[in-house]
């Protein structure tokens, strides 16, 4: 694997990528750093880690996709739309809230207007992820970050990571996790192996198969081809039969199952979409 074309393509566009790692057939085949590696906030890549915790809880019989938000959190709401929201609506960004307000506490989230029937309208909203995190903690008695320490992070060799909490004490399901590019690559390999790590099934393959395929259609967009294909359970589906974890400012874990490959990227650039497209232009053809 020659990363020089990717590096040149990134630098020609003056994109602020910090590091890229490529795995294929279970081993690292290429890496390039622009700055020294260290854990950093990976923004909405956090959602995909949270999805694994929720899948584990479902595997254990503690949660169901059909569980209703207000019942699990014991919140009485007079509005029928609020009462209809399920865990699956939250995981697929279909709760029906369309505003830009995204409070980080339950009182604030439950004060939002639900203007569409749950399950009928996709709208990307980290508030959905925060509510899902609260449901998780309510039924398991553990915060997502703490729950994953022995069930995911330590088995994968990821140093105990920082993950921000809400003011009322829940792991922020939508963002707040800090991990390195190397840790993202290892997580991508775990996803590629459908939840199996060193011979142990950490989360069911059935959950990963379901979470990483299109469950809802996303907004049509001609200028963003990897954003108009679909969304799973806190994962994006994208071109070439791939899926990805996707975070603000260019944090990506791209999993390409039919090529047995993973690409992990850390960046610090608001112009993030060309960083992903460069994967298809320069890395994908070499796999």
Residue 27 belongs to domain with CATH number: 3.40.710.10
Total domains in the chain come to: 1
What is the average pLDDT across 141-159? 97
CA 146, distance to chain mean position in Å, is 18
Answer yes or no: is 215 within a domain: yes
**Containing structural domain, residue 257:** 4-158+169-286
What is the average pLDDT across 150-154? 98
Answer yes or no: is 110 within a domain: yes
pLDDT score, position 137: 98
Tens digits of residue pLDDT in 40-60: 999 999 999 999 999 999 999
Dihedral Cα 48, 150, 169, 270, nearest 10 deg: -30
% the chain with pLDDT above 90: 94
pTM for the model stands at 0.97
Residue tagged 């060193």 (tokens): 198
Tell me the average pLDDT of the chain: 96
What is the average pLDDT across 5-28? 98
% the chain with pLDDT above 70: 99
Answer yes or no: is 189 within a domain: yes
What is the average pLDDT across 105-109? 94
- Is pLDDT of 165 > 80? yes
- 51 against 220, higher pLDDT: 51
In the structure encoding, which two tokens stand for residue 146, read together? 């703490």
Answer yes or no: is 163 within a domain: no
CA 185, distance to chain mean position in Å, is 13
pLDDT score, position 100: 82
Answer yes or no: is 164 within a domain: no
- Is pLDDT of 222 > 70? no
């Amino acid at each position: 694997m020659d990363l020089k074309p990717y590096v040149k393509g990134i630098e020609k566009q003056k994109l602020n990528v910090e590091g890229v790692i490529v795995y294929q057939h279970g081993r690292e085949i290429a890496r390039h750093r622009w700055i020294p590696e260290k854990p950093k906030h990976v923004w909405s890549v956090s959602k995909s880690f949270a999805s694994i915790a929720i899948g584990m809880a479902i595997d254990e019989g503690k949660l169901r996709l059909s569980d209703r938000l207000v019942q699990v959190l014991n919140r009485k709401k007079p509005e029928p739309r609020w009462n209809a929201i399920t865990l699956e609506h939250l995981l697929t960004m279909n709760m029906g809230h369309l505003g830009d307000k995204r409070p980080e506490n339950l009182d604030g989230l439950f004060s939002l207007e639900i203007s569409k029937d749950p399950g009928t309208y996709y709208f990307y909203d980290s508030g959905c992820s925060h509510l899902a995190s609260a449901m998780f903690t309510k039924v398991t008695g553990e915060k997502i970050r703490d729950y994953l320490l022995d069930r995911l992070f330590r088995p994968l060799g990821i140093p105990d990571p920082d993950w921000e909490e809400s003011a009322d004490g829940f792991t922020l399901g939508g963002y707040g996790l800090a991990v390195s590019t190397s840790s993202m690559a290892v997580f991508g390999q775990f996803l590629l192996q459908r939840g199996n790590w060193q011979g142990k099934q950490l989360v069911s393959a059935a959950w990963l198969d379901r979470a990483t395929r299109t469950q809802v259609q996303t907004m049509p967009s001609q200028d963003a081809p990897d954003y108009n294909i679909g969304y799973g359970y806190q994962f994006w589906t994208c071109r070439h039969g791939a899926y990805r974890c996707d975070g603000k400012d260019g944090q990506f874990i791209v999993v390409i199952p039919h090529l047995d490959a993973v690409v992990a990227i850390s960046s610090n650039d608001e112009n993030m979409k060309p960083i992903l497209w460069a994967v298809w232009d320069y890395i994908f053809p070499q796999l």
